[in-house]
Amino acid sequence: MIKDKPSRTAYKVAMNIVTLGAKPGMDMVLPPDIVQTTKELLLVSGAAGAKTIKWSDSPKMVSVYEAFDWMLPGQFEAFAHRKAFCEQQVRAGIGAGATQILILGAGYDTLGWRLAPEFSDVKFFEIDHPATACLKAKGIDAMGSRDNLILIAEDLGKKKLVDTLKPKVLWDKNSRIVVVAEGLVMYLSSKAVRDLFNQCAVISGAGSRLAFSYIPTGVDGRPDAGRWTGLMLWLQKMSGEPWIWSIKPEELGKFLEETGWAITPTLQGTTNKHGVEFYTLAKKRTCRDKK
């Protein structure tokens, strides 16, 4: 990706959320306040202007997205389901005793900012590339910083999580955590995803969870984006943020096992596919899992 510029894909996801707010019925899926806070963040960070946001928040823009749905069927609404899934996993994880939430490749996601006051005993950490993280930090400062929300600017492909978290912040690697990697792993190399999941296991305590989305591998070995895979892969490449990593759903369990996690297919809503992505929840492996 173009590392010195804020992420275009993070911008697209955020804009998509704004437009979903104008689609009747999506309020039943989208987490409360997400549309308003996303609009505010885009505006005060300078990521988008008032006119662009107003235009995105309109029935006309809903029609534009729907007209292009043939390219990635279901993907427009999928972002609402993805946001709902991640928030549900974070809330459930906190309910089960998680005290640290780590949001990887956070982009303009507002989950940490929205939930931080509600869960003042929980620490929220976000990591993204410096260009995106710095623009977001500007927005968060303007919206009102949260004592328990820590934004970190780092390239996940370059520095190990354990080194990223240790010198800068008071990270407790023995505590129960929830890691969120929403719309991230497809942009990383196979080695980087393996390393990242391994490191997530190293920096987390027993009972930790990992919620993430991924694109399945198609029969031709490429990330499967449906009928227009070739076009989509080309468009992503041209945008400077190509889709690199994917995995066959039947191989995910083994991959997770090898990186310190165990798949949880029995948990409701953890193997859903919306648009081109699957949403999955993994739990940190225990000694019993390893036998």
Ligand X SMILES: C[S@@+](CC[C@H](N)C(=O)[O-])C[C@H]1O[C@@H](n2cnc3c(N)ncnc32)[C@H](O)[C@@H]1O
Contacts with ligand X by CB under 6 A lie at 7, 9-10, 13, 105-107, 109, 128-129, 132, 155-157, 182-184, 187
User: Smallest distance, Å, CB 134 to ligand X?
Assistant: 11
Q: Which is nearer to ligand X, 241 or 257 (CB)?
A: 241
Q: Could you tell me the smallest distance in angstroms from the CB atom of residue 113 to ligand X? A: 12
Contact 129, 1 (CB under 8 A): yes
Q: How far is the CB of 178 from ligand X (least distance, A)?
A: 14
Q: Which is nearer to ligand X, 65 or 174 (CB)?
A: 65
Cβ proximity to ligand X, 273 vs 285, nearer residue: 273
**DSSP 8-class letter at 60:** H
Closest CB 175 distance from ligand X, rounded Å: 23
Sorted by sequence, the CB contacts under 8 Å of residue 66 that are 6+ apart come out as 76
Q: Where are the alpha helices (DSSP H) in the chain?
A: 8-20, 34-45, 50-56, 59-67, 75-95, 111-115, 130-143, 161-168, 190-202, 229-238, 249-258, 287-290
For residue 283, list its beta bridge partners: 209, 262
**Closest separation in Å from C-beta 12 to ligand X:** 7
Phi-psi region of 181 (alpha: psi -120 to 50; beta: other; left: phi over 0): beta
- 229-to-79, 132, 139, 232 alpha-carbon distances in Å: 19, 27, 35, 5
Q: What is the dihedral of CA 231, 234, 236, 237, to 10 degrees?
A: 180
Q: How many angstroms separate the CA atoms of 1 and 240, rounded? A: 5
Give the residue with the Cβ less far from ligand X, 41 or 247: 41
Nearer to ligand X, 44 or 262 (CB): 44
Residue number with CB closer to ligand X (74 or 157): 157
Q: What span, in angstroms and rounded, lies between the C-alpha atoms of 235 and 39?
A: 26
Nearest approach in angstroms of CB 88 to ligand X is 15
